[in-house]
Amino acid sequence: MKNLFKFTSIIAFLFANFIFAQQKIDETFIKENIAIMDARILSVSEKDFAKQLVVVNFSEEIKLPNQINFSEEDFFDDGKNNDKFAEDGIYTSKKVFSHSEKIPFVTMDKSYSVLDHIIIDKNFKQIESLEKKKGSSLSGGPTAILDCDIKWVCGCMSSCCGFIISNCHFTIGWG
């Protein structure tokens, strides 16, 4: 009976910590710690492609969920469907889109970037870590950062959380 109580207590403790950690992901956390490093096109066939977002969480204390919503589309980092590896920070759309003249087929299973600048919020607190990850100084130019108002919303139709990005401005590192 004591072992059952200990086991139940441990499970309750872990569950409470999981709930607490999930509650810490709020708009302030996103604004201060999250950067959208890239947006990519991944050809999944000669006819179709999936969209990808490279999202970096610069905080070690909270883990991002495996599903996010961006521009009313669900993206997954779970290693299933079009997503190659779980929890690698590359969120991939489950939905596929048709290649066109504007988005031609390039190479199977290779992604290419469609984003020229990193997206961060004006309240981003991890510039030094971002510079290390990017491999250059953001103040030593020529570099550019797109700083935006990033809002984190939960309770979408798909029962996940997602980003709303607005009011964007460039920061140019002239040196």
pLDDT in tens, 95-152: 999 999 988 898 887 888 888 888 888 888 998 998 888 775 554 444 556 667 777 7
Position 25 scores a pLDDT of: 79
Mean pLDDT computed over 20-36? 75
CB distance 103 to 49 below 8 Å: yes
For the residues of 46-94, what is the DSSP string, one character each?
SSEEEEEEEEEE--SS-PPPSEEEETTEEEE-BSSTT--SBTSSEEEES
Q: How far is CA 83 from the centre of its chain?
A: 13
Predicted model pTM: 0.70
The secondary element (H helix, E strand) that includes residue 136 is none
